[in-house]
Amino acid sequence: MSQHKGKIVAALAILLIIFYAIAVYWSTEPARFNVVEKAKQQAQQRNEQFVIGYTTTSTLITVASTLLEKPGGYLSNDVLPPSIIMDDMPAWEYGALEMVRDLALSMRKDFSRSQSQSTEHEALKKAQPQFNISSEAWAWPSAEGEYQKGIDYLLVYRTQIANDHERDSQFYARADNLRSWLKEAEKRLGSLSQRLSASVGQDKVNTDLAGNTSNTQATFSPLQQQAKTPWLDIDDVFYESRGATWALLHFLQAVEYDFADVLEKKNARVSVQQIIRELEATQETVWSPMILNGNGFGYVANHSLVMANYISRANAALIELSELLTQG
């Protein structure tokens, strides 16, 4: 009997080791890619013209496809081990997904339209909602299935803008279009920065109504409140930020190429390059086996505050770039 129990324990131990090895492999973050070379390669493979907007659209497609095709596939909605007990990679996926959603919305309402009264592009009108399904939906419909449908519609749009005969399918590289998307990215980065900074807890003064004495809000909020990320969520917020900045880094590189003339005219290309440099710093290798949460100038590092620093600087540069684009 004891020998039988020993075999069961040994089998469970081996199974745990296998699950751990799989989890480590599946937790490997996707590598960065050259957005212009990738887009040109895809245009050549599909025998399509490499036109304005092709790089941005291709980058959106590639980032969204990476969520589904990376090691382990899409993990956020898995209900079986080992992925059901993994949280860092699903958090990374969610961060990247949020950036995909923002760009897909901007593609639908701004980049593909000449003015506010113009009609929406049919493929983008169908693509954008597909990315809004819950990231944890696993059956009927599944998140992967809906996201793939969105990717397929984006492929249709990309093919049409590359076709000279599809005059109604366009990508408009204008300063106002770019600024609209940048404002969405600002909000994402601002939120991530605040959540990362809350890893150590901080007393926050309520500035929600600052700027005008006539400002009001629905319900009362205290003048001071403490913001602190729960201990078990600190690594999730960190990896969500890693995923979001990974996606945004590629989108900005694509925008730098497609909006080159606009940026040159506004003398803003160097601003985009500086933002990209700040975001590149967020993708440095994490050598620690776990996300540390030291306080202030203590003995232990605080990875969340380091990430918040890079994101805050990128966000400040985004705000400056957005203002620069409004100038004549």
For the chain, percent helix, then strand, then coil, each to nearest 5?
A: 60, 5, 35
Q: Check: CB of residue 213 under 8 Å from CB of residue 239.
A: no
DSSP, collapsed to helix, strand or coil, labels residue 252 as helix
The answer to whether position 317 is within a domain reads yes
Does residue 210 lie within any of the structural domains?
no
Could you list the pLDDT tens digit for every one of the 328 residues in the chain?
Answer: 567 777 788 888 898 888 888 888 888 999 999 999 999 999 999 999 999 999 999 999 999 999 999 999 999 998 888 888 888 999 999 999 999 999 999 999 999 998 766 789 999 999 999 999 999 998 889 999 999 999 999 999 999 999 988 888 999 999 999 999 999 999 999 999 999 988 876 655 555 555 555 556 666 556 555 566 776 678 999 999 999 999 999 999 999 999 999 999 999 999 999 999 999 999 999 988 888 887 766 778 889 999 999 999 999 999 999 999 987 5
Give Cα separations from 147 to 33, 59, 130, 136 (angstroms). 21, 15, 6, 12
For residues 54-81, one letter each, b for 16 or more C-beta atoms within 10 angstroms of the residue's C-beta and e for the rest, the string is bbbbbbbbbbbebbeebebebbbbbeee
- What residues form DSSP beta bridges with 302? 293
Query: What is the pLDDT, as a whole number, of residue 132?
Result: 96
d(Cα 69, Cα 67) in Å, to the nearest integer?
A: 6
Between CA 144 and CA 154, with CA 149 as vertex, the angle to 5 degrees is 125
CA distances from 109 to 82, 122, 299 (A): 40, 11, 49
Whether 120 is in a domain gets the answer yes
Residue 273 lies in a domain: yes
314 occurs within a structural domain:
yes
- pLDDT, position 294: 78
| Residue 18, domain member (yes or no) | no
124 closest CA partner among 159, 155, 153, 158: 153
Does some domain include residue 1? no
Domain count, the chain: 1
d(CA 84, CA 75) in angstroms, rounded, equals 8
Q: Which residues pair with 205 in a beta bridge?
A: 224
User: Is 213 within a domain?
Assistant: no
Residue 225: its H or E element? strand 224-227
Taking the model in full, what pTM does it have? 0.90
Q: Which range of residues forms the domain containing residue 171?
A: 30-204+223-324
Cα–Cα distance measured from residue 69 to residue 61, given in angstroms and rounded to the nearest whole number: 12
